[in-house]
Structure 1
Amino acid sequence: MNARLNLLDNQVAAKFGRHIVSAGRVLEDSTLPASTQELVKLRASQINGCGFCVDMHAKDAAHAGETSTRLGLVAAWREATVFTDAERAALELAEQGTRIADAAGGVTDEAWANAAKYYDEDQLAALVCVIALINAFNRGNVMVQQPAGDYQPGQFG
């Protein structure tokens, strides 16, 4: 399968992509745990059906030491016993922030309050950013039909 538009080679798209990637790099300095960021990116990508991002974030998480058990259970996190309460709160926020059209008003007060029990304001801001950024990447990759399977950790910096 070939992409409709190669976002990696197209001059305009590559500039846009670099800006999004640089925004994402700000999250590296956040105190929001990197493992939580990867779990959130993986879950949003699963919901959005972005094979490229599912491939990327599963591999990046595994490369960073995430277990195959936890990665395999991200889609069923509610029934899984391997996630902390904080991770569950982040995954719920990611699901609601990704499926904003499913509920009037987007993220519920309950989901926000639950996340606020575990994350300070800076970490909540980072969660909002990572959810928004991965949704942008997902939508772009799905629209151009970016193929999945060939990503290697560290490929983009």
Structure 2
Amino acid sequence: MEARLSLFGNPVAGKFMRHVNSAGKVLTDSALPAATQELVKIRASQINGCGFCTDMHTKDATAAGETADRLNLIAVWREAKVFTEAERAALELTEQGTRIADAAGGVTDEAWENAAKHYDEDQLAALVSLIALINAYNRLNVIVRQPAGDYRPGMFG
């Protein structure tokens, strides 16, 4: 299976992707814990059915030392005992921020306040930005039907 459009091979899409990727670097370098960042990327990608991003971020998390137990339980984080309260707050915010059309008003005050208990303003800004960014990546990859399974950590830089 091949993608409908090369996001990096097309001049317009490629220029756009380079800008999006540079924005992502700002978040990678933020004070939001790296493990939390990967959990957020994986959970949003699962919800959005983005095989490419799920593949990429699961492998990146593994390469960074994340355990198989935690990776296997992201989709059922509410029932799993392997996540911290801060990670749970980030995952709840991710789910609500990804499924904004499912609930009138988008993210609940309760989810926001819970995240704010665990993350300072800069970390919250990074978290919100990361949720928006991974949702954008998911949509790009799902629209062009970017195939999953061939990603290897480090292949993009």
- TM-score by length of structure 1 reads 0.99
Which residue does the alignment assign to 2:76?
Answer: 76
Which residue does the alignment assign to 2:24?
Answer: 24
CA distance in 1, matches of 2:10, 2:71: 32
1:43-77, Cα deviation, whole Å (9 max, x unpaired):
00000000000000000000000001100100000
- Structure 2: gaps (5+ residues): none
CA distance in 2, matches of 1:69, 1:118: 23
Which residue does the alignment assign to 2:143?
Answer: 143
CA distance in 2, matches of 1:68, 1:32: 22
Q: Does 1:6 align with 2:15?
A: no
CA distance in 2, matches of 1:15, 1:155: 19
CA distance in 2, matches of 1:145, 1:58: 19
Which residue does the alignment assign to 1:38?
Answer: 38
Which residue does the alignment assign to 1:87?
Answer: 87
Which residue does the alignment assign to 1:130?
Answer: 130
CA RMSD of aligned residues (A): 0.6
State the SS of the aligned residue for 1:7.
coil
CA distance in 2, matches of 1:9, 1:79: 42
- TM-score by length of structure 2 reads 0.99
Letter in 2 for 1:95: E
- Structure 1: gaps (5+ residues): none
Aligned residues with identical type, % of pairs? 77
Q: CA shift at 1:156, angstroms?
A: 1.2
CA distance in 2, matches of 1:79, 1:19: 38
CA distance in 2, matches of 1:14, 1:68: 33
Q: CA shift at 1:9, angstroms?
A: 1.1
